[in-house]
Structure 1
């Protein structure tokens, strides 16, 4: 398994991966077929724009993207030290250390880019993700009540954060 920075030339493979992920889990924000990216040029532009204020790292083997982690920062000076992260791992590659390796590489980027806090949200019923985040030093900072409406009911989300000490 290799962890590397996603490039715009890999946008098609990444979009295919994201669409697969949308079908495999209810824990990501997009429902299947809800993603509006329709062509390669649009996806390349999304990747390039994202990389200007953050990073997208992918875990891959020879033929597949196994998972990703992204971190994005604001241009506003007062909060530029914070990066918001999103992570997703394909179902058949979970529990194989992919998340751990993605976080290890992300932490290298964090130190190189003067990020001093990471933030994320996670559905309270996503116990596997909660465990991964807590193993990597994230703490629950609050709760967003009725944040997600899915399958006819509301789900709360935790705000989680990690202070980075250099």
Structure 2
């Protein structure tokens, strides 16, 4: 899939958003491991479901070949600061939608990387006939939920006690979606 790099400057911080490339695979593996240890907003504990360089190479290749998937990275200070993915499906009943996920290293929170990764993903989805973007977010991640709502997402459901966090605390997962245009339901 063709996607041009875009440059951003916010609060004195410059960064670029571009499609993931094979050369990013090793750094993506390290980034994912680091980010998992920085917050409980993600699905994994550090080291769980580890993806090495080869895993990321395969993922990047699959997403690059698919017209229904998009893998973007954010690059700041000469290194990767985060990434997002829209993962589509080859199934007829699900080909109209993608699942969105995002991960940003903590030192880069608050400078608009998440907002711009999401905006670029929405722009791509809208221009490629994707009718729905779905995502899930831990209810304690209020900042992300507010951003998703500002970007046109609405709550579609709540998964009660869905995540087990540190100290034995359970947290609900909020399921959200953004529908492009009016669609007729069942």
**What TM-score, normalized by structure 2, do the two folds share?**
0.82
| Pair 1:158-2:158 in alignment | no
- 1:49 Cα shift? 2.7
Unaligned runs of 5+ in 1: none
The 8 Å contact of residues 19 and 35 in structure 1, kept in 2 or not, is answered as: no
- 1:146 Cα shift? 1.4
Query: Which residue of structure 1 lines up, in the alignment, with residue 128 of structure 2?
Result: 113
Report the secondary structure of 1:2's partner residue.
strand
Query: Which residue of structure 1 lines up, in the alignment, with residue 20 of structure 2?
Result: 6
1:30 maps to which of 38, 44, 53? 44
The 8 Å contact of residues 134 and 175 in structure 2, kept in 1 or not, is answered as: yes
Report the secondary structure of 2:98's partner residue.
strand
- 1:74 Cα shift? 1.1
Unaligned runs of 5+ in 2: 1-14
2:139 maps to which of 116, 124, 127? 124
- 1:154 Cα shift? 1.6
Please, what is the CA RMSD of the aligned residues?
1.6
- 1:134 Cα shift? 1.1
The 8 Å contact of residues 158 and 172 in structure 2, kept in 1 or not, is answered as: yes
Distance between the aligned counterparts of 1:149 and 1:49, measured in 2? 31
Query: Which residue of structure 2 lines up, in the alignment, with residue 45 of structure 1?
Result: 58
1:93 maps to which of 98, 101, 108? 108
- 1:93 Cα shift? 0.9
CA deviation string 1:41-68 (max 9, x = no partner):
2331132234434111111124221221
Distance between the aligned counterparts of 2:21 and 2:106, measured in 1? 23
CA deviation string 1:83-103 (max 9, x = no partner):
100011111111111112112
